[in-house]
Each structure stands twice: as structure tokens, then as C-alpha cells.
Amino acid sequence: MSKNSLKKVRKSLMMSKAELARKANISAVTITRIENGMSCRMETQRKIILALGLKISDKNKVFGEDIELSAKDEEDKRSGIDRRKFSYDIHVPEHRSDKERRNGLALD
């Protein structure tokens, strides 16, 4: 969970969750989740910032300062592997005809 100022900014603009959700074209439940500290996609952040009438450069006023992660420095957070090290060079093509693959015939 991350700290953000969405609720504070929204209330300072005297905007309801429903109104912000409607303007941002996202659900009010999503607004509640974000205000409660859950993370969201960058696209959702962009929609919210624009719906609040702010500029994209004002992102940190709403969502705080995020540490920019570089693909060169960080491993993939979802799978725990460094995708840059993954190589397709180890792929060996299958040497069966279409007919053999359709019929399920084993390789020799």
C-alpha cells in the first residue's frame, strides 16, 4: 500500500467520489481503494489527475513521489526474474510435420 493525497486533493476541490469517478471514467470503488492506500495502474493515475483538472506534471501532488525504477536496475517484480536475462536462443524448433503434430505422434 502506498501513501497518496487523493482524498485531500479531491476534498479541497469540493468534488465527490462519484463525480471524480465519472470524470475519470473509473468506478467509485476504485477511487475508494486508492484513497485507502492501494496502488493503481499508471493509466488510472493519469485519468484521475486529468479529471481533477491538474497537469500530468502535478502527479506528485496527488500520488506522492515514486522512485523511478529502471529496467536496467530492477528485476521483474511480478515473477522475481530478471527478464533481460531471459533468452529465446535456447528454443529448439519442433521437427514434426503438421500431420504428425495433429495426430499426436511422438518425436523419435
Three-state SS for 106?
coil
Q: What is the pTM of this model?
A: 0.60
Three-state SS for 68?
coil
Query: Residues 6 or more apart from 72 whose CB is under 8 A from it?
Result: 84
CATH code, 21 = 1.10.260.40
Q: Give tens-digit pLDDT for 46-69.
A: 999 999 999 999 898 998 875 444
Do the domain assignments include residue 25? yes
Domain count for the chain, please give it. 1
Three-state SS for 62?
helix
Do the domain assignments include residue 14? yes
Do the domain assignments include residue 31? yes
Do the domain assignments include residue 78? no
Hey, what's the cell of 4? 497518496
Average pLDDT, the chain: 77
Do the domain assignments include residue 82? no
Confidence of residue 100 (pLDDT cuts 50, 70, 90): confident
First to last CA, the chain: 53
Do the domain assignments include residue 35? yes
Q: Please state the rounded mean pLDDT for residues 24-28.
A: 95
Residue 70's pLDDT is 40
- How many angstroms separate the CA atoms of 10 and 62, rounded? 9
